[in-house]
Amino acid sequence: MALLDLAMQGFAIFGFVLFVVLWLMHFMSIVYVRLHLNKKTTDKQPYSKLAGVSLLKPLKGVDPNLINNLETFFELDYPKYEILLCVQDHDDPAIDVCKKLLGKYPNVDARLFIGGKKVGINPKINNLMPGYEGAKYDLVWICDSGIRVRSDTLTDMANQMTEKVGLVHGLPYVADRQGFAATLEQVYFGTSHPRSYISANVTGIKCVTGMSCLMRKDILDQAGGLIAFAQYIAEDYFMAKAIADRGWRFSMATQVALQNSGSYSIAQFQSRMIRWAKLRINMLPATVIEPISECFVASLIIGWAAHYVFRWDIMVFFMCHCLAWFISDYIQLRGVQVLFSPSFHHLHWGSMESMTIQIFLSALWDPTISWRTGRYRLRCGGTAEEILDV
């Protein structure tokens, strides 16, 4: 009995520590969003003196929003940049979209690279290699095909690239689109994801997604160039790690990395979340405890601790804690996107939180992932091998 009492006391202490940590994360994220995001920054260097940028754009396939997303990059207000459009397959319909934009904007410095270069198992790196090797500027901006930008997005990112900064990244978010799945993604990228993403970066943990990253090319070259990261599926994590290991700082843009894919569904959202969870577990095994940071599981643990110490009713505490979490997420979401209609927020929020355990268990069940047109078996440490059909 003494051992059981000791274990229960320890678990109660753990519950209270979890409460403090999670609400500190909420607080840091909300404050950062309110103070930093969507703010007009003062130019840190004259417009004409901004460094040249080589934009690397990996493309595969066409969705209804692709041409509109790509066109926003041709309309950037920036003094010196080039667009390097990279397409792997010669029969990819994205080639026609690229040629149409190249013809429409003849005065924009843009080139199309077709065929890629096989240097490893990562299809994105293979696709980008010819563009990377042909890049002529000191800064490279790797930006996914589903991202759309404002005319001043690159200026904002370049202004964050100060003397000691080696990488500038954008907080992932989602553009307004129609349907339940679209709003579900918007709620996730406006609540759960930035809470972890921002609090990690504020506390010095290098947390970066590769949707939109501006990097110093010479640092990547010191690490071996893009080819050095071709053995990993999560190339963005290891590129960021290589830059941090060389003593460079990171900075977050004031504008979000706005995802605007024209193809989306609940199944696609779950598949992406499962793939990301698998990658995190294989790169950082400690992330197996990740579910305790989610609302429903955390509320149960903290509620039990409150019941054990204060004899409070578990279910009453659970409901109150979930309500407080919901309000906190709503405040944060309004900070990420100022113009947001909250009419369906509670339904989507509840659906998102309910999916977390299923997503995590699915990630543990199968160590293989499907990405683009390939299947890969993950190894501990982040490397992977392609599964070839015999």
pLDDT of residue 41: 66
Structure tokens belonging to residue 165: 């900064």
Cα 14 to Cα 308: distance, rounded to the nearest angstrom = 12
Could you tell me which residues come within 8 angstroms of residue 207 by beta carbon, excluding any fewer than 6 positions away? 196, 197, 200, 201
Q: Choosing from 5, 236, 245, 389, which is the catalytic residue?
A: 236
pLDDT of residue 339: 52
pLDDT of residue 343: 45
Is residue 65 within 8 A of residue 260, CB to CB? The reply is: yes
pLDDT of residue 306: 95
Tally of CB atoms within 10 A around 7: 10
For each of the chain's 390 residues, which pLDDT tens digit applies? Answer: 678 888 899 999 999 999 999 999 999 999 999 999 887 766 667 777 899 999 999 999 999 999 999 999 999 999 999 999 999 999 999 999 999 999 999 999 999 999 999 999 999 999 999 999 999 999 999 999 999 999 999 999 999 999 999 999 999 999 988 888 998 999 999 999 999 999 999 998 888 999 999 999 999 999 999 999 999 999 999 999 999 999 999 999 999 999 999 988 999 999 999 999 999 888 887 788 889 999 999 999 999 999 999 999 999 999 999 999 999 999 999 888 865 554 446 778 888 888 988 999 898 888 888 887 788 888 888 888 888 764
Cα 360 to Cα 273: distance, rounded to the nearest angstrom = 9
pLDDT of residue 135: 97
Q: Is 236 a catalytic residue?
A: yes
Is residue 166 within 8 A of residue 216, CB to CB? The reply is: yes
* DSSP string for residues in 15-69: HHHHHHHHHHHHHHHHHHHHHHTT--PPPSS-GGGPPPEEEEEEE-S--TTHHHH
pLDDT of residue 342: 47
Is residue 55 within 8 A of residue 135, CB to CB? The reply is: no
pLDDT of residue 158: 96
pTM confidence score: 0.92
